[in-house]
C-alpha cells in the first residue's frame, strides 16, 4: 500500500497553520496579561458625576454655576436656575415643548447638554417679554387663541420667534415647515399658523422688534 506524501511547506511559502495558531495564542496571552506594544497612554475617562464650572448667558443675564457634564440644558434651566417656562414633556426630542433659542436658532433643550450652550446666547420664553408686557409673538398667540391646554405653547412661541427672526414674512407653507418640530396634542395648528402670520405682518410693518 502506497504511503501518503506529507506536505512540507517550501521556504518562504507563508505562515503555517501551526505558526498561525501559535501567534494567536501569544497575542491572546498578551491581552490577558495586559501587555501590549502600544506606548500611547490610555485617555482618562471623564466621570459623568464630576461637577465642572460653566457660565451660561440666558435672556441677557450671565449665570455661573457648577454642572455635571451629563446634565441637559433643560434640566439646568428648570432644576438649577428655576427658569421653568421651558417645559419638560417627552424629553427625547420629539415634541418641541422644551424649545429655546440658541444664538437665535430653535433648539430642543432636552437634547442639548448645558455645556454645549456655553458661550452662546440662550433665549427662553421668559426672554421674549418686553418689560412687563407680552412680546409680539406671545400677544399674537393670545389674540388668535393659538393654544388650549397651553403646555406646548412656550415651545411653540419660541419656535415661531426663531422662524420670524430669519424670515419676518413667512408663507403658510413656510410656517408649517418651520413649526413642524413642535407638536400640539390639542390640535390648535390652524390657530398657531394664524398667530405666526399675524406676528410676521406686524414685524414686517415695523410694529415689532
pTM of structure: 0.76
Considering the four listed CATH numbers 3.40.50.300, 3.30.530.80, 3.30.540.10, 3.10.20.30, the one that applies to the domain covering 50-128 is 3.10.20.30
Tell me, which fold does domain 129-209 have in CATH? DNA polymerase; domain 1 (1.10.150)
The arithmetic mean of pLDDT across residues 188-203, rounded, is: 96
Cα separations (Å) of 85 from 78, 122, 151?
Answer: 8, 13, 10
What is d(CA 30, CA 61) in angstroms, rounded to the nearest whole number? Answer: 56
Query: What is the dihedral sign for C-alpha 178, 152, 107, 110?
Result: negative
Q: Give the distance from CA 110 to its chain's centroid.
A: 6
Q: How remote is the C-alpha of 35 from its chain's centroid?
A: 40
Please say whether the beta carbons of 124 and 77 come within 8 A. Answer: yes
* DSSP secondary structure letters along the chain: -PPPPPP-PPTTS---HHHHHHHHHHHHHHHHHT--S--SPPPPPPPTTS-EEEEEEETTEEEEEEE-TT-BHHHIIIIIS--TTSPPSSSSSSS-TTEEEETTEEEEGGGSBGGGGTTSEEE-GGGG-BTTBPPHHHHHHHHTT--SS-SSHHHHHHHHHHHHHH-SS--HHHHHHHTTT---TT--HHHHHHHHHHHHHHHHTT---
Instruction: Tell which residue, 163, 181, 71, 50, has the closest CA to residue 117.
Output: 71
Can you tell me the distance from the alpha carbon of 197 to that of 186, in angstroms, rounded to the nearest whole number?
A: 20
Q: C-alpha cell of 205?
A: 410693518
Q: For the segment 42-88, what is each residue's pLDDT rounded down to a tens digit?
A: 767 767 779 999 999 999 999 999 999 999 999 999 999 999 999 99
Q: Nearest-CA neighbor of 103 among 120, 90, 126?
A: 120
Looking at residue 136, its pLDDT comes to 95
Shortest CA distance to 98 belongs to which of 59, 155, 182? 155
**Extents of the domains making up the chain:** 50-128, 129-209
pLDDT on residue 207? 57
- pLDDT tens figures, 144-195: 999 999 999 999 999 999 999 999 999 999 999 999 999 999 999 999 999 9
| pLDDT the model gives residue 157 | 98
Mean pLDDT of the chain: 86
End-to-end CA distance of the chain: 104
Radius of gyration of the chain (CA): 30
Amino acid at each position: 500500500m502506497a504511503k501518503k506524501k506529507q506536505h512540507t511547506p517550501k521556504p518562504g511559502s507563508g505562515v503555517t497553520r501551526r505558526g498561525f495558531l501559535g501567534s494567536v495564542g501569544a497575542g491572546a496571552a498578551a491581552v490577558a496579561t495586559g501587555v501590549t506594544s502600544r506606548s500611547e497612554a490610555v485617555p482618562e475617562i471623564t466621570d459623568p458625576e464630576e461637577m465642572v464650572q460653566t457660565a451660561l448667558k440666558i435672556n441677557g443675564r450671565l449665570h455661573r454655576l457648577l454642572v455635571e457634564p451629563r446634565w441637559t440644558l433643560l434640566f439646568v434651566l428648570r432644576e438649577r436656575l428655576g427658569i421653568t417656562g421651558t417645559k419638560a414633556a417627552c424629553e427625547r426630542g420629539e415634541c418641541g415643548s422644551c424649545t429655546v433659542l440658541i444664538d437665535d436658532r430653535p433648539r430642543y433643550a432636552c437634547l442639548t447638554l448645558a455645556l454645549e450652550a456655553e458661550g452662546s446666547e440662550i433665549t427662553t420664553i421668559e426672554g421674549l417679554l418686553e418689560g412687563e408686557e407680552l412680546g409680539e409673538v406671545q400677544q399674537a398667540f393670545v389674540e388668535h387663541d393659538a393654544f388650549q391646554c397651553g403646555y406646548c405653547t412656550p415651545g411653540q412661541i419660541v419656535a415661531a420667534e426663531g422662524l420670524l427672526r430669519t424670515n419676518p414674512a413667512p408663507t403658510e407653507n413656510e410656517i408649517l415647515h418651520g413649526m413642524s418640530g413642535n407638536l400640539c396634542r390639542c390640535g390648535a395648528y390652524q390657530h398657531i399658523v394664524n398667530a405666526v402670520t399675524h406676528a410676521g405682518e406686524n414685524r414686517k410693518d415695523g410694529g415689532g422688534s
